[in-house]
Chains A and B, each alone.
Chain A
Amino acid sequence: MKKVFLLALAGLVLLSSALVFPLALSAHNVNECYRDYQVCRERALNLDAPWTKVALVLTVCDIALGKCILGFNV
């Protein structure tokens, strides 16, 4: 019984992912995500700020790219 329940749950998760992710991707232009990422990165690299701060800003650019591609709203 427990096995059937787990299988059904896994099936539901997979089905919802398959339904939601293509919609999320189509709603966001992935090229736009990469364009924004490049702008973010280039600005960070031209900041002339101390390096740890630059590293943190670059990390934020990476996180923003990931969120944009997955279609999350910040």
Chain B
Amino acid sequence: MNLIWRQALILLALASGIPPSAVAAPGDPPIRRYVAEAVATESGQSDDACLAMAVSLAFDADRIYIADAQDCAVKIFSKKGRFEAAIGRKGSGPGEFSFPSGVAVFGGRIFVADKFNHRVQVLEASGRYLRSFGVPFAPDKVFVLGADRILVTNNGTGRSGAEKLLHLFNAKGDLLREEMPAYFSGDPVFDAFRNMFLVNPGPGGDFFVVYRSRERSILHYGLDAVLLGRIPVDERYARKSLSLPAKGGPKEVEAFCWDSAYDRGRLYILAPAYTGEGDLGPGDQVFVFDGAGRLEARIDLPARVTRLAVDGGRIYAIDRASELRIFRVAP
């Protein structure tokens, strides 16, 4: 890509009032547009099927698993949206949860980040308790990278600059490695936003980290949680700025994404959107990036969603009313 030509375009755009992030470099393929259609679901048949506070979703070949932090349960749906089972209840015993905030499935087993019990629980697909291991922090999300590699994240307490946000364990629960130092400025509110991030497991045990506002690159980590590189994101994808109330006056954040997913070599970024009150909330546009960070496509969803997972031409999502939605992507 010719740098001088790109800079000239940016200058021209600045002179004409178009933000430089909207400038496509010559040679970049055009961004394809897709519209996603809602697929009818049957999720509302019973009280158990209702999601009170859906905070994480995962899927395997047949089912969708949703961590419901408020109901202290993992709710299981078919891939057509039919409710099948609810696993767990409030408590601290085996198979009980206190604010389950992350769920993953691997090899027919369900892994749950049991936040306020400070542990990760492993259950059979039927919900039968298998084992758990304790962690010295409040786990947020859990990802199984391989048979002996479990990645657990935390949000940071906001009280120390020495915290790490990624923790790699083996299947027995022994800590193998900690990565990604938390941002710390002494302002726990602002730091919380700087430390918001999302993990997207890749195909071979590697994974991609996307900060929600800290930077506009995708961090690529290997199986042992070693940083392999930073992938800068296409300039045509614009961030959205927001002034947040903070210690010592308002501070600007540049929102990059609300949620993200990885599927078949592509990263899907759910863009935040401005609300009517000028705040930033979940959006209804998903941007698709290839492995080099180039923007390939935009998918318009029929509703704003807070969480998403991508499975080929299907998108499983949670909407703002905490309902499971299934979309089919049509060109």
**B-contacting residues of A (Cβ < 8 Å)?**
38-39, 41-46, 48-56, 58-59, 62
B157 touches A38 (CB 8 A): yes
- How many residues of chain B get a CB closer than 8 Å to chain A's CBs? 33
> B9 near A: Cβ within 8 Å?
no
Q: Which of B55, B157, B281 contacts A50 (CB 8 A)?
A: B281
B284 to chain A, nearest CB (A): 14
Rounded to whole Å, the gap between the CB of A67 and the closest CB of chain B is 15
Q: With the chains together, A44 CA to B188 CA distance in Å? A: 13
Given contacts A42-B115, A59-B189, contact A51 B279 (CB under 8 A): yes
Residue of A nearest to B245 (CB): A55
Contacts of A41 in B (CB 8 A): 155, 157-158, 188, 192
User: In the complex the two chains form, what is the Cα distance from A53 to B320 in whole Å?
Assistant: 15
Q: Give the shortest distance, in Å, between B158 (CB) and chain A (any CB).
A: 7
Chain A residues near B46: list those with CB within 8 A: none
Contact A52 B155 (CB under 8 A): no
B contact residues around A44 at 8 Å (CB): 192
Contact for A42 among B155, B279, B306, CB less than 8 A: B155
Lowest 5 CB-CB distances: which A-B pairs, in order? A50-B279, A50-B281, A48-B306, A58-B189, A52-B279
Contact of B242 among A43, A46, A52, A56 (CB under 8 A): A52
Binding site for A on B (CB under 8 A): 53, 55, 69, 99, 101, 115-116, 138, 140, 155, 157-158, 188-189, 192-193, 196, 242, 244-246, 253, 255, 272, 275, 277, 279-282, 306-307, 320
Distance between B66 CB and nearest chain A CB, rounded to angstroms: 13
Q: How far is the CB of A52 from chain B (nearest CB, A)?
A: 4
* Complex CA distance for A52 and B157, rounded to whole angstroms: 19
Cβ A49 vs Cβ B188 within 8 A: no
Distance in Å from the Cβ of A49 to the closest Cβ of chain B? 7
Q: How far is the CA of A54 from the CA of B275 in the complex (A)?
A: 14
A54 and B190 alpha carbons, distance in the complex (Å): 11
Which residues of A have CB within 8 Å of B193?
51, 54-55
CB–CB A46/B279 < 8 A: no
* B98 → A minimal CB distance (Å): 9
Docked Cα-Cα span, A46 to B154, in Å, equals 12
Q: Using A50-B280, A51-B280, A52-B242 as known contacts, say yes or no to A45 and B189 having CB atoms under 8 A apart.
A: no
